[in-house]
Structure 1
């Protein structure tokens, strides 16, 4: 396991201070980090972005099949939010029946890279996380 040095901890603390240190209490009601992260990092949005990163173009029903467990309503809502924030584009083809396709924008691809970094970290440490959970549960009784 990797050891985090005091120097690394100081660098992290400086980055966090830079993000929040300038904010007054009255400005903390609206936090852009919380706002953006809440909408772009929920479990459904991350899966949608990952699948659109793997399959360049998907239709609604294809996404629904890939993102197991998501309802039509939630998928529709997530797609609208991701489109409005610029992560994906929606193309409507005036055919009968109407065909709608979704794909990541360049902005969405840049976010996908960050999700992949986090996913690799999760893969690396998932055994440790599971062991920590088990240890915690045993300690709680």
Structure 2
């Protein structure tokens, strides 16, 4: 698949968006703060992305259901990611006082708004995955 040509105007507009997002942050005033590191790191790691996508497809999932769907994730990592995603507002956790305790997770409206952006990126990856794999193959043969 041939990638669309990016014009100079598009590159300039992208640079302006980046400056608008980060231009107000003075590293001297807040050297510890970085929006990418502090916000996007959690929301864009492979496990969090899969959790959010599955919770977007299935309206409510319990811990063990999520564990089965997010293949390869450990109980510890799933538990950590769920707590962090809940803390950032991407999902809600509802606990029922039963024996054994039943806990369900679902996306918040904020989580759904992020899921929409994730799906745009996922569509891009799907569109260009053959090109990416071909590039990797060419690169590994160098």
TM-score range, shorter chain: over 0.9
**Corresponding residue number in structure 1 for 2:21:** 19
1:46-65 aligned at under 5 Å gives the runs 46-65=49-68
Higher relative contact order (CA 8 A, sep 6+): 2
CA distance in 2, matches of 1:106, 1:23: 28
SS in 1 for 2:141: helix
How far 1:20 moved relative to its partner?
2.2
CA distance in 2, matches of 1:28, 1:18: 18
Which of residues 26, 33, 37 is equivalent to 2:40?
37
Q: 2:86 matched to 1:86?
A: no
How far 1:28 moved relative to its partner?
4.1
State TM-score, norm by structure 2: 0.94
Worse overlay, 83-92 or 22-31: 22-31
Q: For structure 1, which runs of at least 5 residues remain unmatched after alignment?
A: none
Q: Describe the superposition over 1:93-131 as per-residue Cα deviations: whole angstroms up to 9, x where unpaired.
A: 001111000000000000000100000000000000011
**Corresponding residue number in structure 2 for 1:130:** 133
What RMSD in Å do the two structures reach over aligned CA positions? 1.0
How far 1:138 moved relative to its partner?
1.1
State TM-score, norm by structure 1: 0.95
Runs of 4+ in 1 over 3 A off after TM superposition: none
CA distance in 2, matches of 1:67, 1:18: 36
Q: 2:12 matched to 1:10?
A: yes
Q: For structure 2, which runs of at least 5 residues remain unmatched after alignment?
A: none
Worse overlay, 10-19 or 55-64: 10-19
CA distance in 1, matches of 2:27, 2:86: 32
CA distance in 1, matches of 2:77, 2:40: 17
